[in-house]
Amino acid sequence: MAIRQSSTDQVFGALSNPTRRGILDLLLAGPQTAQEIAGRFDLSRPSVSEHLAILRSAGLVRAEKDGRFQRYSIVPAPLHEVQAWLSPYERFWRERAADLGHVLNELEQEQT
* pLDDT of 34: 93
Count up the domains in the chain and report the number. 1
What's the CATH number where 75 sits? 1.10.10.10
DSSP-derived secondary structure letter, 53: H
Question: CA torsion angle for 78, 3, 63, 48 (degrees, to 10)?
Answer: 110
Residue 63 is assigned to a structural domain of this protein: yes
Residue 75 is assigned to a structural domain of this protein: yes
SS3 content of the chain, % helix, strand, coil (to 5): 65, 10, 25
* pLDDT of 7: 80
Residue 30 is assigned to a structural domain of this protein: yes
Q: CA-to-CA distance for 58 and 56, rounded, in angstroms?
A: 5
* Domain span at 49: 7-111
Query: 9-34: per-residue pLDDT in tens?
Result: 899 999 999 999 999 999 999 999 99
Residue 1 is assigned to a structural domain of this protein: no
Spatial contact of 17 and 60, defined as CB atoms under 8 Å apart:
no
Spatial contact of 37 and 74, defined as CB atoms under 8 Å apart:
no
Residue 69 is assigned to a structural domain of this protein: yes
Residue 104 is assigned to a structural domain of this protein: yes
Residue 2 is assigned to a structural domain of this protein: no
